[in-house]
């Protein structure tokens, strides 16, 4: 496998960073997970726009133009023979002097690595509520940083229970998101999801679903509420770049009814992905 | 400079980790910052005990015994000719498959790197209140993980204001800690500090100061309170492994009176460090 590292496509064994890289030392960076279909990154502009917003928040420089990055993606797909894949793009502040201060770290690290597209989960999936909490309203939760220990440990809780994913609440006890997906539910015919201010990541597929619901004539609603709001939900589903739309069939051991609209939304997302 | 990497002391240029290391991808690891004086790590057992507690929380394996690590520290000091130094020990979950799940990442990465001991700041220092918040009561805030973007950005705020450090409040608006130091103040003759549950790191120097205050006949008090509690304080100081005890002379632009007891505490800490 070849990996893009700071301007060059190198064999995986040479894709290394110094132990003084602030991504490694402090999680001082950003990442994007992008679906590649038939050789093309899906919603590339949206991912690059989010990366750029995050770089503004973290005061990081993106050291390559979107055009150069896209050319490198195509090169990676070609070199690795992987037209259908998951791309992980990582941007860190690079190496710098010891200590939290980002002063003196002026050469960011940019890595892009392809991974085989995993098989979609057998639906509907089971989820649990994580014991870990997201900070609502934190400007650093709003961007996709590399400081993800909370999400890693939430996912480990899901692994330990043998379920697909864990849903994180925010520090107010309200619904936020799953570890690698946004959360949706259907209530009184409307498609609901936590607002970004609740700690939900501004997911590229989340935005696509909200957009597609409009086209499908479905009402959408951002709801900042505790999990009890789900008691009367007509279905729950997760959305993300890797798997698209995934129905939830069980939450904390209790059955969840299948959504009457998720199949239509999943088809619309799949069609958008196929047409990318 | 030589660096200890997974069992070997290698030249700095060879001290690299794969871009698939979960420390780099997710901040999925722990670290310790340890003062080395006359070739010996100060409070080594306390640092290793905290690392071990953190490894328990993160379900990480420490791949070397404390004795082997100590031998490696002495080798690093010798190889680099740096008997007075700052040691950064980093333990990550190592490389693994893509995604938050730690499953399949079974070979942790352990790095130890020496850095020259920086000159102490000209005291008293200036601090600001950071706009970033720490989650109180979070089991992941209680250990020293590599997911430190909040502390990095708080420190960047201090840099931007030209001051020594930034104090972080927790999500309840109460005092927690500075980015690389614990916070103390003197109130009615007692030496006060935020409790660990407020989001203060269990600092090795914090514990030493609490212990030394007992020996010096000074009362100590853990206070979970908003910054307004400092209005009547007779002095504020910071404690940490690198600089010991540092007086604060200005907070958010307002002068802070010099503590009547910090000089005694600083001397006691310095004596403990010198005798290590």
Grouped pLDDT means (10 residues each) for chain A, 276 residues: 97 98 98 97 97 98 97 98 97 96 97 96 95 91 95 98 97 96 96 97 97 95 96 95 96 95 96 82
- What per-residue confidence (pLDDT) applies to A275? 80
CA-based nearest distance B114→chain A, Å: 10
- What per-residue confidence (pLDDT) applies to A30? 98
Burial (0-12, 13-18, 19+ Cβ within 10 Å), A271: exposed
Residues in chain A: 276
Q: Give the nearest chain A residue to B94 (CA atoms).
A: A24
**Residue from B149, B153, B158, B165 whose CB has the most chain A CBs within 10 Å, to mutate:** B149
**A149:B27 CB<8 A:** yes
Q: What is the pLDDT of residues B66-124, one digit of tens each?
A: 999 999 999 999 999 999 999 999 999 999 999 999 999 999 999 999 999 999 998 89
**A149:B18 CB<8 A:** no
HEC secondary structure over chain B: CEEEECCEEEEHHHCEEECCEHHHHHCCEEEEEEEEECCEECCHHHHHHHHHHHHHHHCCCCCCCHHHHHHHHHHHHHHHCCCCEEEEEEEECCECCCCCCCCCCCCCEEEEEEEECCCCCCCCEEEEEEEEEECCCCCCCCCCECCCHHHHHHHHHHHHHCCCEEEEEECCCCEEEECCCEEEEEECCEEEECCHHHCCCCCHHHHHHHHHHHHCCCCEEECCCCHHHHHHCCCEEEEECCCEEEEEEEECCEECCCCCCHHHHHHHHHHHHHCC
Q: How far apart are CA A67 and CA A4, in angstroms?
A: 14
SS3 A252: coil
- What per-residue confidence (pLDDT) applies to A274? 86
**B28:A88 CB<8 A:** no
Q: How far apart are CA B231 and CA B235, in angstroms?
A: 10
Cβ atoms A110, A17 nearer than 8 A: no
Output the six-digit token pair for B272.
Answer: 């403990």
Output the six-digit token pair for A149.
Answer: 């220990």
Task: Give me the residue label for tokens 């910071």.
Answer: B238
What global pTM score does this model have?
Answer: 0.96
Q: Give the nearest chain B residue to A29 (CA atoms).
A: B149
**CA-wise closest residue to B149 among A56, A182, A29, A47:** A29
Nearest to B27 among A12, A100, A148 (CB): A148
- What per-residue confidence (pLDDT) applies to A78? 97
């Amino acid at each position: 496998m070849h990996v893009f590292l700071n301007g060059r496509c190198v064999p995986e064994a040479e894709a290394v960073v110094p132990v003084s890289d602030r991504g490694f030392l402090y999680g001082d960076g950003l990442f994007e997970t992008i679906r590649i279909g038939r050789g093309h990154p899906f919603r590339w502009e949206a991912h690059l726009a989010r990366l750029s917003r995050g770089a503004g928040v973290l005061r990081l420089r993106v050291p390559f133009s979107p055009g150069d990055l896209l050319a490198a993606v195509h090169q990676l797909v070609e070199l690795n023979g992987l037209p259908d894949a998951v791309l992980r793009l990582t941007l860190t502040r690079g190496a710098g002097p010891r200590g939290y201060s980002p002063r003196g770290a002026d050469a960011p690290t940019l890595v892009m690595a392809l991974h085989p597209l995993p098989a979609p989960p057998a639906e509907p999936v089971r989820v649990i509520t994580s014991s870990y909490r997201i900070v609502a309203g934190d400007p650093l939760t709003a961007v996709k940083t590399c400081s993800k220990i909370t999400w890693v440990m939430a996912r480990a809780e899901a692994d330990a229970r043998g379920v697909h994913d864990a849903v994180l609440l925010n520090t107010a006890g309200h619904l936020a998101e799953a570890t690698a997906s946004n959360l949706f539910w259907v209530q009184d015919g409307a498609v609901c999801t936590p607002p970004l201010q609740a700690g939900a990541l501004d997911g590229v597929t989340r935005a696509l679903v909200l957009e597609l619901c409009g086209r499908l004539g479905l009402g959408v609603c951002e709801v900042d509420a505790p999990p009890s709001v789900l008691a009367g939900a007509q279905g729950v589903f997760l959305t993300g770049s890797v798997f698209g739309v995934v129905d939830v069939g069980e939450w904390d051991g209790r059955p969840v009814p299948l959504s009457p609209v998720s199949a239509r939304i999943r088809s619309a997302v799949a069609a958008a992905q196929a047409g990318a």
